[in-house]
Amino acid sequence: MLRTIVARSDAFPLAQPFRISRGVKTVADVVTVEIAADGATGRGEAVPYLRYGETIAGALDEIANARGAIADGATRDELLTLMPAGAARNAVDCALWDLETRLSGRSVTDRLGQPDIAPTPTAMTVSLDTLDAMAAAARTLSDVPLIKIKVDRTDPAAQIRAVRDAAPNPRVIVDPNESWTIAEVEGLQSLLAELRIDLLEQPLPAGEDDALEGFRSLVPIAADESAHVADDVGALASKYQVINIKLDKTGGLTGALALADAAAAAGLGVMTGSMISTSLSIAPALVVAARSSFVDLDGPLWLAADRAGGVKGVDGVLTPPVAGFWGTI
């Protein structure tokens, strides 16, 4: 089956800046892939991440290098060796899942034996800002199911307390984005317990997380930047309690499902996350979210305008995209 492939970069401005410990984002720059065959077209999206040495241009080059094999009918399993795990493979893998749906007339969830995607509670992010601004943002989220707080090293205790005081009821994830030391993880334990924090996400740099070996945290700790693919789980099981699965790290839904299975086999919890992206990235992530204890897929809600037919967010709950948007008929 001969295919045609289109890969391009698209930019989606944010409605307001998104700040984490590594910097500020005002535009979601994504790679969009469309793969067509037999009158049907499947779509996929990815967000190359500089933290992993990825760029838009680099991702487009990776796809161009694999174009011949993809056009000649390479399967998703063959992609696992044809392309490295990462954003470029994610866009292609998800486009193939979508194409398979349109050619077969069977949804992704049907083929996986899962129920249709239901409305899904997601973390609503309070990005890094002044204490007053973080508290003000948290007040608007006081009734959502789950809040995620972006913090750094300047005064994380005050940042977390400002949000928790303004929003006493939701579950809370604290995400330092690799900015803490092990001394800070240890020193903040009592505060995290006092403020009923449900999850601490990747507090240490990925290359320094051996310090978590055997550490008994008062709240579960999730691996994000340390966890990319299923083969990573063996080295992480004694350091973390939860694995944050992002399709841009696993190289697509195929790799994400394998990572979810590996985490479950190791007795680890699963979180599903994403970059700041459109609903075309979120739709396949919702398949993994159905298997997750924590879901952080509010990326499209930061955009000034999403792709037509995408997810809708009301009070911290995502409504799935319209039929036919991705992976459904």
- Segment 220-235, tens digit of pLDDT: 999 999 999 999 999 9
| Count: domains in the chain | 2
- pLDDT digits over 109-165, tens only? 999 999 999 999 999 999 999 999 999 999 999 999 999 999 999 999 999 999 999
Catalytic, out of 25, 239, 246, 312: 246
239 flagged as catalytic: no
In a domain, 327, yes or no: no
| Residue 39: closest CA among 2, 90, 68 | 2
Residue 4 and residue 133: Cα distance in Å, rounded?
A: 48
* Position 21 pLDDT exceeds 80: no
Strand order in the sheet with 221-223: 124-126, 146-150, 171-175, 199-201, 221-223, 242-245, 269-273, 294-296
Residues 82 and 213 in one domain: no
150 is known as an active-site residue: yes
Q: Strand 312-314 relative to strand 317-319: parallel, antiparallel, unpaired? A: antiparallel
**Residue 229, domain CATH:** 3.20.20.120
The answer to whether residue 112 is domain-embedded is no
> What does pTM read for this prediction?
0.96
**Do both 217 and 252 map to the same domain?**
yes
Q: What is the CATH number of the domain that holds 27?
A: 3.30.390.10
Domain termination site, one of 105, 136, 158: 105
Note whether 139 and 252 are same-domain residues.
yes
Question: Would you say residue 23 has pLDDT above 90?
Answer: no
Query: Do 133 and 221 share a structural domain?
Result: yes
> Which residues constitute the domain of residue 82?
4-105
Selected catalytic residue, list 150, 239, 249, 312: 150
pLDDT tens across 56-71, in order? Answer: 999 999 999 999 999 9
Residue 72 lies in a domain: yes
Tokens representing residue 76 in the block: 């998703």
